[in-house]
Amino acid sequence: MSADQFAQYLVSGITQGSIYALVALGFTIIYAVTKIINFAQGEFVMLGGMLSFTLAHSAGMPLVLSLPLSVLSTAVIGTILYILAIRTARKASVVSLIIVTIGAAILIRGLAAQLWGVGAVRPPFFTGDEPIPFLGALIRPQALWIIGTSLVATVVLHLFLSYTMMGKALKASAISQVAAAMVGIDTRLMALCAFAIAAALGAIGGVVMSPLTLTAYNVGVMLGLKGFVAASIGGFKSPLAAVIGGITLGVVESLAVGVDWGPFTSAYKDAIAIILLLLILLLRSGSLAAEERAG
């Protein structure tokens, strides 16, 4: 592989990885605050993309309106999911909650198939598709949008968590629900916020990536899986690890496809994330920390 090719694959890997990072952040936030693994996380990405297509293409809305509206609508859907499904099942066991989010995921997926059909759709590019030369690689402008938006979203999230009242309350809930409740934080409101934010993050990812990668009713599952893998690198506690994990996964996938491994074609690309997950499980499981019970 030449240096130019390497740079190309690196850029495309970072681009894809930024999406994984956003999904991973969504997983991390919901898990940290509610201890639930939200299987519908990937569907939020799908919805963001689908909605932006409908608003921009079919409704002819200008991007400056359609993009925020798509994100907002998805956040609302995330909130509805929380209120209708999760909050109602509050006292339920972990198994039940997982199954509920799985049910929600396929419900959303099924509805999407009905509303948008099974074909792939492409919303319009933000600023056209003229490739920009950069360090030996040709970057499509949408890729820059992806990387840039993800970066901004991550930074804004960080600022929100660290410097606003609401954000600090969220962090507190993540550390201890009991303690947070004792200082007057409404834990149900926090859970609702977590879902809304996670949905928004996913939607941002979807909105910004679908002009480049297309989107369809069934992209949620693999995106969710890969975001999960990235999030689990950080143990679902560290947003920073989630972001790094996401980008790393994207780069590894991209390079693996680029290098000629012989019998392994790009069809095996998806398998990389899964193998990584299994490795993480093996490594984590080997450490003594695996069996330590909390106080």
Partner 1 sequence: MLRRAKGNWTYFVIAALLLFSILIPFDWFLGRYTGLVILIGISTMVTVGLCLLMGYTGQVSLGQAAFYGTGAYVSAILSKTYGVNPWLAMLIAALATGAFAYVIGYPTFRLRGNYLAMATLGLGVIMWILFRQLSQYTGGPDGMAGIPYLSIGGFVFNTPFKRYFLVWLFCLVILLVSQNIVRSRAGRALRAIHGSEAAAESIGINVTQFKVKIFVLSAVYASLAGSLFAHHLRHVSPQSFDFMASVKLVVMAVIGGLASVWGAIFGAATTRILSDELLLRFGELDVIVYGLILILVMIFMPEGLFVKLKDVIAQWRLRYEQRGTKT
Partner 2 sequence: MSESILEARGLGKTFGGLVALDRLDLAIEKGRITAVIGPNGAGKTTLFNLIAGVYSATTGEIRFQGMPVNHIPAHKRTAMGIARTFQNILLFGNMTVLENVMTGQHPRSSYGFLEAALRLPKAHREEETISLKAMRYLNLVGLGMYAQQEATSLPLGQQKLLGIARALATDPKLLLLDEPGAGLTTLEKRALADLIHRLSEMGISVLLVEHDMPLVMGIAQWVVVLDSGQKIAEGTAAQVQKDQRVISAYLGEEIE
293 counts as binding partner 1 under rule CB under 8 A:
yes
Binds 157: which of partner 2, partner 1, none (CB < 5-8 Å by kind): none
Binds 152: which of partner 1, partner 2, none (CB < 5-8 Å by kind): none
**Residue 97 burial (CB < 10 Å; 0-12/13-18/19+)?**
buried
Binds 285: which of partner 2, partner 1, none (CB < 5-8 Å by kind): partner 1
Q: Rounded to the nearest 5°, which phi and psi values hold at 219?
A: -80, -15
| Dist. CA 72–CA 51, nearest whole Å | 10
95 counts as binding partner 2 under rule CB under 8 A:
no
Interface pick for partner 1 out of 45, 121, 225, 247 (rule CB under 8 A)? 225
CA 235 to the chain's CA centroid: 16
Q: Among residues 260 and 291, whose Cβ is nearest to partner 2? A: 291
Distance in Å, CB of 56 to partner 1, minimum: 25
Interface pick for partner 1 out of 76, 151, 259, 278 (rule CB under 8 A)? 278
237 counts as binding partner 1 under rule CB under 8 A:
no
Which regions of 120-240 does DSSP assign to beta strands (E)?
132-134, 137-139
- Sign of the alpha-carbon torsion through 285, 286, 289, 290: positive
| Dist. CA 154–CA 200, nearest whole Å | 12
| Dist. CA 50–CA 189, nearest whole Å | 28
For residues 26 to 65, the per-residue mask of contacts with partner 1, x marking binding by CB under 8 A and - elsewhere, is -----------x-x--------------------------
94 counts as binding partner 1 under rule CB under 8 A:
yes
| Dist. CA 173–CA 178, nearest whole Å | 8
Q: Which of 160, 173, 181, 212 lies closest to 15 in space, CA to CA?
A: 212
For residues 264 to 293, the per-residue mask of contacts with partner 2, x marking binding by CB under 8 A and - elsewhere, is ------------------------x--xxx
Binds 288: which of partner 2, partner 1, none (CB < 5-8 Å by kind): partner 2
91 counts as binding partner 2 under rule CB under 8 A:
no
Q: Among residues 152 and 284, whose Cβ is nearest to partner 1? A: 284
Check if the beta carbon of residue 15 is closer than 8 Å to that of residue 137: no
Q: Among residues 91 and 293, whose Cβ is nearest to partner 2? A: 293
| Dist. CA 201–CA 199, nearest whole Å | 5
SS3 state at 222: helix
**Positions that interact with partner 1 (CB under 8 A):** 37, 39, 85, 88-89, 92-100, 102-111, 113-114, 118, 221-222, 225, 228-229, 232, 236, 265, 267-268, 270-271, 273-275, 277-278, 281-282, 284-286, 290-293
